[in-house]
Structure 1
Amino acid sequence: MRADARKNYNRLLAVARDVVTEHGGDASLRDIARRAGVGFTTLLRHFPTREGLFEALLRTDLDALTQRAGELETSNPPDEALVSWFREMVAFVQSYGGVVALMASAHEDPDSPLYATCAAVHSAGARLLLRAQTEGTARADMDGGDLFALVSALGWLVGQPSFAPRANHLSHLITSAILINRSGSDVQKQRAESDR
């Protein structure tokens, strides 16, 4: 890709991130092109379909979340790593209202361009969960699929205006249900962090 084309591509993704955060899955492609300072045909040259743009946008962020899971896995105790990653995933899902369905369907469709990316982030979360289960700090009766479902559901829920003010509280409730054998001071510390 030529340098100017790469610049336009990166600019379109950066602007799309902002517009989709503001307007969700109904974001206007024309608005994205206008804000990026390029013509609509330039946007279509890079992203021929709305789904193609969302897939590129999601892939970038999901790859970063997969990498983040690896960092947490090597630098934090299992329960803290799991909770941190869970919260970051919920924030991601919440910030892209309306595209959760795309991510969820890609996770089940091997022909989707997002399948490998979704499978990687799913696997990263499952590894964090298994690590915490092995340490005895996460309940043993759940798996990576359950974790992925909880992230998706909570991310969607706190993206709704009536639940948004309760996002930290709801996240604390869910992570408290996932984790076991935590001392009272650990629970208080987690609650204080979620209230920030």
Structure 2
Amino acid sequence: MKTQENNTQPARRVRADAQRNEDAVLEAAKQVFKTLGVDAPVREIAAMAGVGVGTLYRRFPQRSDLVAAVFRREVDACAAEATSLAADHPPGEALARWLKRYTDFIATKRGLAAALHSGDPAFDALPAYFRASFEPVLKSLLDAAAASGEVRGDVAPYDLLRAIGNLSSASGEDSAGHAGAMVDLLIDGLRFGARKMESETAR
């Protein structure tokens, strides 16, 4: 029994080291893409991650593999935040906070968005991944806020995701500030709609 444990421990260490390297590469790629764009030299990413270029290429043979992995990781992180927000805040506030978090996600992914629309087949599955990740969590937040009477209940999650995506696609000076202000108006509209619907029901 001890022999089996001794044999498996090195394999576990190798897997743990490989996972740490992958996490470091993805985090470094996110930072480098943000400042230099998705066409940044791979050596910049490897140096920031503290790994060799060969290690990076073994895990991500093509640049598109790395771009897609960064995108999925960022989508997962943004979607997961909905759960913690729902646990820590009232439904309406949790919804508003997550919509702003999603706005920030869209605003910082412009370089990735250009890559995703490049026609590279490595990105073909990502739009479906985007919707499958974000629609359920937004629906849960909308349903909870509507049930508590804080927002209207007739808004489709995907319509709201698309609206914020369109608002966040503007470029130019203070584009992020403009998108944030417009999303605040959207949130106010959701709340106003709830009050109006409550008033009409009371009649």
Provide the TM-score with structure 1 as the length reference. Answer: 0.73
The reply on whether 1:172 has 2:184 as its aligned counterpart is yes
Alignment of 1:1-196 (within 5 A): 2-100=15-113, 112=125, 115-116=128-129, 118-157=131-170, 160-180=172-192
Q: Is the 8 A contact 1:26 1:98 kept in 2?
A: no
- In structure 2, do the counterparts of structure 1 residues 75 and 54 end up closer, same or farther at CA, with 3 Å as the change threshold? same
Q: Is the 8 A contact 2:142 2:153 kept in 1?
A: no
The alignment yields a C-alpha RMSD, in angstroms, of 3.1
Post-superposition shift, 1:176?
A: 1.7
Q: Is the 8 A contact 2:91 2:145 kept in 1?
A: yes
- In structure 2, do the counterparts of structure 1 residues 103 and 150 end up closer, same or farther at CA, with 3 Å as the change threshold? farther
Structure 1 unaligned spans of 5+: 106-110, 184-196
Structure 2 CA distance, aligned partners of 1:169 and 1:114? 26
Post-superposition shift, 1:160?
A: 4.2
Post-superposition shift, 1:125?
A: 0.9
- Give, as a single letter, the amino acid of the residue that structure 1 aligns with 2:190: I
Post-superposition shift, 1:78?
A: 1.9
Structure 1 CA distance, aligned partners of 2:115 and 2:33? 13
Post-superposition shift, 1:148?
A: 1.3
Runs of at least 4 residues off by over 6 Å: 102-105
Task: Name the % identity.
Answer: 31
Post-superposition shift, 1:117?
A: 6.0
- Give, as a single letter, the amino acid of the residue that structure 2 aligns with 1:93: I
- Aligned residue-pair number: 178
Q: Is the 8 A contact 1:103 1:118 kept in 2?
A: no
Post-superposition shift, 1:146?
A: 0.9
Q: Is the 8 A contact 1:78 1:132 kept in 2?
A: yes
- Give, as a single letter, the amino acid of the residue that structure 2 aligns with 1:14: E
Name whichever of 161-170 and 59-68 sits farther off.
Answer: 161-170
- In structure 2, do the counterparts of structure 1 residues 103 and 147 end up closer, same or farther at CA, with 3 Å as the change threshold? farther
Q: Is the 8 A contact 1:90 1:152 kept in 2?
A: yes
Provide the TM-score with structure 2 as the length reference. Answer: 0.71
Aligned position for 1:188: none
Bigger radius of gyration among the two:
2
- Give, as a single letter, the amino acid of the residue that structure 1 aligns with 2:175: F
- In structure 2, do the counterparts of structure 1 residues 26 and 142 end up closer, same or farther at CA, with 3 Å as the change threshold? farther
- In structure 2, do the counterparts of structure 1 residues 125 and 176 end up closer, same or farther at CA, with 3 Å as the change threshold? same
1:99-126, Cα deviation, whole Å (9 max, x unpaired): 2366799xxxxx7267446412221012
Structure 2 CA distance, aligned partners of 1:175 and 1:28? 40
Structure 2 CA distance, aligned partners of 1:50 and 1:155? 26
Aligned position for 1:108: none
